[in-house]
Structure 1
Amino acid sequence: MPTENKVPAFDLIGKRYDESFVERDVQIAEAAWLIDQLPPGSRVLDLGCGSGLPTAKQLVDAGMDVVGVDESQTMLDLAAAQAPGATYLHADLRELGELGEFDAVVAFFALLMLSKADIERNLRDIRALLRGPGLLLVSMVQGDFDTFPVNFLGSPTTVSAYPPSQLRTVVADAGFEVLALREFEAEAEPGRIEVQLYLRGAKS
């Protein structure tokens, strides 16, 4: 997952990410919603695909043409083994210009690893990649901070977060209609509860 100074953290975390991420039911349900909106063979970008679980595998199993992008080669190696059938690319999440067009983009807990300035730029870049239904799924953690230092699964990294109303505005300003924005409490790692935001959007 993103950015250059975050890669060692996720290389170190590796498979522990899947083993320690306790609750993913909402993420699975959101991807299922997306699958219901798209015909098989639709091209979907999984931005910050991580280990390929659960989303890349879910999309591949549904017959989607999946491109997974991540900045951690360790996570991409896991994805290739755990969710075969997608195309996996080792790339900076902020540099999307060479990827082609997509019917949908999903970014589950990936953009939050960027600065707010990069998130807002990245959303505009994502919009430029979208064709057809132009669907977007984004998940973030609720809060109000920019590149705040944290320890995730014992590894240092930084995260950014928005309050719900501000996330809605940021996504709309990037050229999307916000179809839904919901909040859920989830156990992100053992013993730590956080409020997660799940947003559905469409290119406007």
Structure 2
Amino acid sequence: MRLDRTGQADAFDAIGDRYDEAFPHKEGQLAAGGWLAAALTAGSRVLDLGCGTGVPTARQLSEAGLDVVGVDLSPGMVERAGRHVPRGTFHQADIADLRPGGPLDLGRFHGVAAFFSLLMLPRAEIPLALRTVRHLLLPGGLFVLSMVEADVDDFAIPFLGNTIRVSGYLREDLHKVVEAAGFEIVEETSYTYAPSVADVPPEEQVFLCCRRSD
């Protein structure tokens, strides 16, 4: 499968800290991160996939006493995450780099968080990305993710003065894709979210708390 990330990392390098300013209220993300932290013991390894600035998830998990590793395609975001979460370890990488036999071997994890990162992939890649997450998890490992509910595939949108490409599913279809990749959905919440900037429309955010099916 040919990967096309043209402009995706560049857009988030340019956006920088404005991302957190545009999305100041992250109750759903914090609640799902809290679920993950509460279910794991101190010292457990967790991966923040698409860590962005490290706020709030990597910071939340680190402050809960977990061993946090973060990955992001944007070097600017990786640099910010390292400053915001000094106890974490962060890498500039694509999720494709984490596949079995890929160039970046981070070992296995007790938990993985992927908040609004899988939506940056074309739909054709999302099932493989989910199977990669399953591979990264230890047996019985936990996975929290969020997507924007929308029936779109690799669709270009204006975003904070830049252009990014996003994909989404209707909720029932998202459930099918996640379960087919080998996960049990334990808990689900959703939030109608209005960002604090004019060029990003209101969205329905879906959060799934999952367990690796073994």
Task: Assess same fold via TM > 0.5.
Answer: yes
Task: Map residues 1-204 of structure 1 onto 2, 5 A cutoff.
Answer: 3-97=5-99, 98-191=105-198, 192-204=201-213
TM-score, scaled to structure 1: 0.95
CA contact (8 A) 2:145 2:208 kept: yes
Any unmatched runs of 5+ in structure 2? 100-104
More strand by share: 1
The residue identity in structure 1 corresponding to 2:125 is: D
Cα root mean square deviation, aligned:
1.3
Give the distance between the partners of 1:123 and 1:201, measured in 2 at CA: 12
Alpha-carbon offset, residue 144 of structure 1:
0.6
Any unmatched runs of 5+ in structure 1? none
CA shift digits 1:89-120 (9 cap, x unpaired): 01012221312100010000000000111111
CA contact (8 A) 1:104 1:133 kept: no
Q: How many residues align?
A: 203
Q: Residue 86 of structure 2 aligns to a residue in which SS?
A: coil
CA contact (8 A) 1:23 1:187 kept: no
Task: Give aligned-pair identity as a percent.
Answer: 44
Alpha-carbon offset, residue 132 of structure 1:
4.2
The residue identity in structure 1 corresponding to 2:87 is: G
Alpha-carbon offset, residue 59 of structure 1:
0.6
Q: Residue 32 of structure 1 aligns to a residue in which SS?
A: helix
TM-score, scaled to structure 2: 0.91
The residue identity in structure 1 corresponding to 2:73 is: E
The residue identity in structure 2 corresponding to 1:147 is: D
